[in-house]
């Protein structure tokens, strides 16, 4: 054995071995064979090797931690990574947390992270359970979608079946996500019984613990507690998009781009808090497949179970049509439907408003903000007015009407004072809205048709005459607009605030 002999020779001739030592007791063949094939690595190189092994392990953990597990599972099921972009019909959903900054100031950075991670874990569970794909999370918002070439549920469906599947699942997921947010606010353990995996359960329980502790600490201040509510807006659309791998090398993301994505984002931006907004195309698909009628019946039944005002909601109130105008996008218009989700919303808002009475003028401002936001919701306004009157707050209806229509209500002979006192707050808000709509409609009207040009003279003279006529037309109407925005609208709500402050002052005197 040449190598063993050479090793034996090297060992026997090593200068660091004592010549007095008896080597006859050492089994050199066994010793050398035991070291056969072993690499003798210098200490420095050994440290580098261990460091590289540690880095590899760290990178593996980091990749696992930050990887999109749902996407990888989809790709594993498909057996390949799609290389080419494709056009696909998909359902797009967006979700955004409203005014999270107020909540965050009560929490430490660690608590904020736990709350948001728990919330997103709950939403992701709902999306995945319904067959959806969580596309991305950005700050306090997220995007999800249904369909596409990596969704196995859509592979064998006809166009009609695909549209029915996408529209139905997208809509029901949006509704469930909104209701999940309500359960989250209640720190309801019912949600944890919906088949959550261990990691999701741990994340949600961590968030629930923080919410419960904070609520206990704020138990004596119900007005503050009422503001500690996580609220979301949800928007959805459907259509054909481009799907593919987008981004630079090392930061690729499986994503979707196209008009439906933009539309979905616009739906979310204008969605009612606690509800959702859907595109007209999505609504028509839902209506065609009977989802609208079924949802209407189920919604009223849920409201009836809790004895809520929404048990008498009309279908056109549950699905309220509106053309959304995005002013900062050159007046882009989107036809849409606002959808109510929470069957006890009127009662919840009324309860919040009564809680805010405890917070003095700050609470009065919170009440005005809610009234301004929900002034177009008949049943919410009715619930609020009834709750205020139960507390002994009766709004000065005559004053409100004088502000809106001073020519009529400044002269007692032109109206019945007794009937005026009985007019509902919602009716007053409707008159205010009609006033505003009339002004806006006049401003949208083409001024050119109001031009008083004679049509005679050269080109410049005619155009000067038309432009001056347009100017006079708009000058008058913008004066009305400014008066409404700066006088009428603020005074209506200052009058309401005056009645609330008077009640608060009286309550303090009695205390």
More confident residue, 240 or 449: 240
Give me the phi and psi of 27, to 5 degrees please. Answer: -85, 90
Do residues 183 and 267 share a domain? yes
DSSP state of 85: -
Regarding whether 324 and 408 lie in a shared domain, the answer is no
Q: What pLDDT is stored for residue 22 in this prediction?
A: 46
Phi, psi angles (nearest 5°) of residue 338: -85, 130
What phi and psi, each to the nearest 5 degrees, are found at residue 45?
-65, -35
Question: Is 329 inside any structural domain?
Answer: yes
pLDDT at 4 over 50: no
pLDDT for 82 equals 80
Q: Are 313 and 456 part of one and the same domain?
A: no
> What confidence category does residue 11 fall into, taking pLDDT thresholds of 50, 70 and 90?
very low
Domain-ending residue, one of 322, 340, 358: 340
Count CB atoms within 10 A of the CB of residue 93.
29
Q: Is 258 found in the same domain as 153?
A: yes
25 within a domain of the structure (yes/no): no
Place of tokens 């069957």: 343
Handedness of CA 23, 29, 34, 37 (dihedral sign): positive
Whether residue 352 is contained in a domain is answered as no
For residue 217, name the pLDDT band (cuts at 50, 70, 90): low
Mean pLDDT for the stretch of residues 448-455: 50
In a domain, 190, yes or no: yes
Q: Say if 363 falls within a structural domain.
A: no
Report pLDDT for 26: 47
Distance CA 460, CA 462 (A): 5
Nearest Cα to Cα of residue 318 among 334, 302, 332: 302
How far apart CA 281 and CA 486 sit, in angstroms, is 37
CATH of the domain at 138: 3.30.70.1230
- Domain assignment present for 253: yes
Per DSSP (E only), the strands in 224-378 are 231-246, 253-257, 276-279, 319-326, 332-339
Q: Which residues fall within 8 angstroms of residue 454, CB to CB, at 6 or more apart?
A: 465
Is residue 39 predicted with pLDDT exceeding 60?
Answer: no
Domain boundary among 297, 323, 340: 340
Tens digits of residue pLDDT in 74-116: 777 777 788 888 899 999 999 999 888 777 887 888 988 998 9
| Phi, psi at 31, each rounded to 5° | -65, -45
Q: What is the 3-state secondary structure (H, E, C) of 424-466?
A: CHHHHHHHHHHHHHHHHHHHHCCHHHHCCCCCCCCHHHHHHHH
Pairing label, strands 276-279, 332-339: antiparallel
113 and 213 housed in the same domain: yes
The answer to whether residues 324 and 407 belong to one domain is: no
The token duo for 228 is 């500690």
In a domain, residue 4? The reply is no
Instruction: Report the Cα 96 to chain-centroid distance in Å.
Output: 2
Contact 339, 172 (CB under 8 A): no
Residue 150 CA to residue 78 CA, distance in Å, equals 7
Q: Which domain holds residue 496?
A: 393-510
For the segment 215-236, the average pLDDT, to the nearest whole number, is 71
333 in the same domain as 423: no
Beta strands in 63-140 (DSSP E): 86-98, 133-138
408-412, 429-433, 436-440: range with lowest mean pLDDT: 408-412
Q: Which of 307, 324, 340 is the last residue of a domain?
A: 340
Q: Which residues of 153-186 are buried (b: 16+ CB within 10 A; e: fewer)?
A: ebeeeeeeebbbbbbbbbbebbbbbbbbbbbbee
Contact 235, 276 (CB under 8 A): yes
Cα 75–chain centre separation: 28
Residues contacting 244, CB < 8 A, separation 6+: 82, 84, 85, 86, 254, 255
- Between vectors from CA 375 to CA 372 and to CA 381, what angle results, nearest 5°? 120
* Domain count along the chain: 2
Query: How long a stretch of residues is the chain?
Result: 511
432 and 327: one domain? Answer: no
Instruction: Specify the pTM.
Output: 0.80
Regarding whether 403 and 331 lie in a shared domain, the answer is: no
Confidence at residue 464, expressed as pLDDT on a 0 to 100 scale: 86
Q: Identify whether residues 290 and 414 lie together within a single domain.
A: no
Positive or negative CA dihedral for 495, 496, 501, 503? Answer: positive
Same domain, 91 and 220: yes
pLDDT at 215: 67
Give me the mean pLDDT over the 16-39 stretch: 47
Q: Are residues 212 and 98 in the same domain?
A: yes
- pLDDT exceeding 70 applies to what percent of the chain? 79
Residue 44 tokens read as: 């420095």
Residue 48 in domain: no
């Amino acid at each position: 054995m040449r190598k063993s002999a050479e090793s034996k020779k090297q060992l026997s001739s090593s200068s660091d071995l004592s010549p007095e030592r008896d080597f006859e007791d050492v089994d050199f063949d066994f010793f050398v064979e035991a070291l056969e094939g072993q690499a003798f690595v210098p200490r420095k190189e050994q440290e580098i090797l261990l460091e590289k092994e540690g880095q590899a392990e760290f990178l593996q953990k980091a990749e696992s931690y930050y990887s999109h597990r749902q996407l990888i599972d989809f790709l594993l099921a498909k057996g390949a990574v799609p290389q080419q972009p494709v056009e696909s019909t998909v359902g797009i959903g967006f979700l955004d947390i409203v005014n999270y900054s107020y909540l965050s100031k009560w929490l430490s950075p660690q608590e904020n992270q736990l709350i948001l991670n728990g919330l997103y874990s709950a939403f992701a569970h709902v999306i995945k359970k319904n067959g959806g794909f969580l596309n991305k999370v950005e700050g306090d918002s997220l995007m999800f979608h249904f369909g596409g070439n990596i969704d196995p549920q859509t592979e064998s469906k006809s166009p009609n079946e695909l549209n029915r599947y996408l529209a139905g699942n997208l809509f029901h997921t949006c509704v469930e996500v909104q209701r999940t947010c309500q359960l989250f606010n209640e720190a309801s353990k019912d949600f944890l019984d919906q088949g959550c995996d261990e990691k999701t359960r741990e994340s949600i329980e961590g968030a629930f613990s923080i919410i419960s502790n904070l609520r206990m600490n704020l138990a004596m201040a119900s007005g503050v507690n009422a503001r500690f509510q996580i609220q979301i807006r949800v928007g959805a659309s459907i259509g054909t998009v481009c799907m593919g791998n987008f981004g630079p090398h090392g930061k690729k993301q499986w994503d979707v781009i196209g008009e439906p994505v933009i539309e979905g984002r616009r739906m979310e931006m204008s969605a009612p808090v606690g509800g959702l907004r859907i595109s007209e195309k999505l609504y028509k698909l839902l209506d065609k497949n009977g989802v609208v009628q079924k949802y209407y019946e189920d919604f009223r039944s849920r409201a009836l179970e809790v004895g809520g005002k929404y048990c008498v909601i009309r279908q056109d109130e549950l699905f309220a049509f509106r053309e959304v105008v995005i002013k900062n996008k050159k007046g882009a218009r989107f036809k849409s439907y606002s959808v109510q989700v929470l069957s006890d919303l009127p009662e919840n808002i009324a309860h919040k408003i009564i809680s805010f009475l405890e917070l003095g003028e700050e609470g009065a401002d919170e009440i005005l903000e809610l009234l301004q936001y929900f002034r177009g919701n008949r049943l919410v306004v009715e619930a609020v007015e009834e709750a205020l009157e139960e507390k002994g707050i009766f709004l000065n209806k005559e004053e409100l009407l004088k502000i809106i229509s001073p020519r009529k209500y400044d002269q007692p002979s032109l109206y019945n004072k007794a009937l005026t006192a009985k007019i509902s707050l919602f009716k007053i808000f409707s008159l205010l809205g009609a006033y505003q709509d009339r002004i806006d409609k006049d401003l949208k009207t083409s001024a050119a048709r109001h031009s008083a040009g004679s049509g005679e003279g050269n080109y410049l003279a005619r155009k000067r005459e038309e432009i001056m006529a347009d100017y006079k037309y708009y000058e008058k109407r913008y004066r009305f607009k400014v008066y409404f925005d700066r006088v009428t609208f603020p005074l209506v709500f200052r009058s309401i605030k005056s009645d609330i402050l008077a009640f608060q002052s009286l309550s303090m005197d009695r205390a």
